[in-house]
Amino acid sequence: MSKEYSVAVVGATGAVGKMMIKVLDERDFPVSNIKLLASERSQGKKMRFRGEDVVVEKLDHDSFDGVDIALFSAGASRSLEFAPSAARAGAVVIDNSSAWRMDPDVPLVVPEVNPHAISGYKKKGIIANPNCSTIQMVVALKPLYDYSPIKRIVVSTYQAVSGSGQKAIDELEEEIKQWVIKGCGNDPGKSKGYVGEFEYKAYPHQIAFNCLPHIDVFLENGYTKEEMKMVNETRKIMEDDSIMVSATTVRVPVFFGHSEAVNCQFEREITVEKARELLEKAEGVKVLDDPEENLYPMAIKAEGTDYTYVGRIRKDISQENGLDMWIVADNIRKGAATNAVQIAEKLIESYL
Q: Which of 115, 130, 163, 311 binds ligand 25A (CB under 6 A)?
A: 163
What distance in Å separates the CA atoms of residue 225 and residue 159, rounded to the nearest whole number?
A: 14
- Looking at beta carbons only, is 94 or 278 nearer to ligand L14? 94
Pairing mode, strands 57-58 and 285-287: unpaired
Largest CA distance in the chain: 70
What distance in Å separates the CA atoms of residue 131 and residue 100, rounded to the nearest whole number?
A: 11
Phi, psi torsion values for 330, nearest 5 degrees? -75, 115
Determine, following the binding rule CB under 6 A, whether residue 46 of this chain makes contact with ligand 25A. Answer: no
Residue among 342, 317, 328, 101 nearest 225 (CA): 101
Residue among 329, 331, 160 nearest 255 (CA): 160
- Looking at beta carbons only, is 289 or 330 nearer to ligand 25A? 330
Residue nearest to ligand L14 (CB): 163
Around 30, how many Cα atoms within 13 Å sit in the side-chain half-sphere? 12
Q: Which does 16 bind (CB under 5 to 8 A by kind): ligand 25A, ligand L14, none?
A: ligand 25A
What distance in Å separates the CA atoms of residue 215 and residue 225, rounded to the nearest whole number?
A: 7
Q: Which of 5, 7, 8, 11 binds ligand 25A (CB under 6 A)?
A: 11
Determine, following the binding rule CB under 6 A, whether residue 115 of this chain makes contact with ligand 25A. Answer: no
Q: CB of 292: closest distance to ligand 25A in angstroms? A: 35
Determine, following the binding rule CB under 6 A, whether residue 167 of this chain makes contact with ligand 25A. Answer: yes
What distance in Å separates the CA atoms of residue 179 and residue 193, rounded to the nearest whole number?
A: 8
- Asked whether 183 and 199 are in contact (CB, 8 A), the reply is no
What distance in Å separates the CA atoms of residue 291 and residue 280, rounded to the nearest whole number?
A: 17
Total binding residues for ligand 25A by CB under 6 A?
Answer: 27
Q: CB of 224: closest distance to ligand L14 in angstroms? A: 10
Of the residues 61, 116, 214, 258, only one is catalytic, namely 258
Q: CB of 273: closest distance to ligand L14 in angstroms? A: 34
Q: Which residues contact ligand L14 (rule: CB under 6 A)?
A: 98, 131-132, 159, 163-164, 215-216, 226, 229
What distance in Å separates the CA atoms of residue 226 and residue 218, rounded to the nearest whole number?
A: 9
264 is catalytic: no
Q: Which does 143 bind (CB under 5 to 8 A by kind): ligand L14, ligand 25A, none?
A: none
Determine, following the binding rule CB under 6 A, whether residue 96 of this chain makes contact with ligand 25A. Answer: yes
Q: What is the DSSP string of 132-190?
A: HHHHHHHHHHHHHHTTS-EEEEEEEEEE-GGGG-HHHHHHHHHHHHHHHHTTTT--TTS
Q: Which does 277 bind (CB under 5 to 8 A by kind): ligand L14, ligand 25A, none?
A: none
Q: Which of 2, 41, 44, 53 binds ligand 25A (CB under 6 A)?
A: 41
CA distances to 59, 86, 228 from 64, rounded to whole Å, are 9, 5, 32
- Looking at beta carbons only, is 35 or 229 nearer to ligand L14? 229
Mark 185-224 with x for binding to ligand 25A (rule: CB under 6 A) and - for no binding.
----------------------------------------
Of the residues 132, 205, 211, 214, only one is catalytic, namely 132
- Asked whether 333 and 262 are in contact (CB, 8 A), the reply is no
Determine, following the binding rule CB under 6 A, whether residue 130 of this chain makes contact with ligand 25A. Answer: no
132 is catalytic: yes
Determine, following the binding rule CB under 6 A, whether residue 76 of this chain makes contact with ligand 25A. Answer: yes
Question: What is the tally of helices (H) and strands (E) in the chain?
Answer: 8, 14
Q: Which of 166, 178, 246, 263 binds ligand 25A (CB under 6 A)?
A: 166
Residues that bind ligand 25A (CB under 6 A): 11-17, 38-39, 41-42, 59, 73-78, 96-97, 132, 163-167, 336
Q: Which residues are catalytic?
A: 132, 258
